[in-house]
Amino acid sequence: MIHENSRSAMAAIAPVTGACRIEVMRVIRQMGPITRQDIGLELGWAINSVTGRVRELLDMNNICEDGKDHSHKVARSLLRAV
Could you state, in order of their start, the residue ranges of all structural domains in the chain? 4-81
Identify the H or E element spanning 79: strand 76-81
Tens of pLDDT, residue by residue over 22-80, are 999 999 999 999 999 999 999 999 999 999 999 999 999 999 999 999 998 899 999 99
Q: Rg of the Cα trace of the chain?
A: 14
Q: Assess if CATH 1.10.10.10 describes domain 4-81.
A: yes
Model pTM score: 0.81
Q: Evaluate the omega torsion of the peptide bond into residue 33 and state whether it is cis, within 30 degrees of 0.
A: yes
